[in-house]
Structure 1
Amino acid sequence: MEITFKHTKGGETLMFKILKKEELSEQITLFDIEAGDIARKARPGNFFLLRTHEQGERVPLTIADFDRDRGTITTVFQKVGRTTNHLGTFNEG
């Protein structure tokens, strides 16, 4: 399932693929996400706004790691509310 991001430049909605999903605990999940433009511009301390569907709540998630060469970002989140619990149901692909 792909994730919808609200692109900050021009307000364009983009979709990104989950390359890796790792359950770190019952409530903590790690995603590696294919997001070339974001990875190229990422800096320590950056975050991105995520929506699980077009009318969904905007959730800020921290970029925990990034790989400019592979065009990937890594985020780790805790399932605490409706949106992050829904996000936790997403799988690779």
Structure 2
Amino acid sequence: MPFKILSKYKLEDSGTLYEMDIRAALIARKAFAGNFIILRVNERGERIPLTIADYDRDKGIITIVFQVVGKSTLLLSHQ
């Protein structure tokens, strides 16, 4: 199921650490501290486990933070 990326920010000058806000209402409603998601950049992409860094139940938004360390996270950084 595709989700909409609302924003993406570089968290450092080298461009390998990113913060991304994603509209995912169902996930945001059920999120708790320590939860993670399994994300795929596309249908054939590898499954990437990422911790939910923040969430807003009212707005239906989750925030993830990731570091570019391979092909899949590099693709994610270009979304």
Give TM class, smaller chain: over 0.9
Q: Extract unaligned runs of 5+ from structure 1.
A: 1-13
- Give 1:1-93 correspondences, 5 Å limit: 14-25=1-12, 26-90=15-79
Which consecutive segments of 4 or more residues in structure 1 shift more than 2 A?
Answer: none
Q: Extract unaligned runs of 5+ from structure 2.
A: none
Number of equivalent positions: 77
Alignment partners' CA distance in 2, 1:15 and 1:61: 16
Q: TM-score under structure 2 normalisation?
A: 0.95
Q: TM-score under structure 1 normalisation?
A: 0.81
Give the aligned residue type for 1:24.
Answer: L
Alignment partners' CA distance in 2, 1:53 and 1:15: 9
Alignment partners' CA distance in 2, 1:64 and 1:17: 17
Identity of matched residues, %: 55
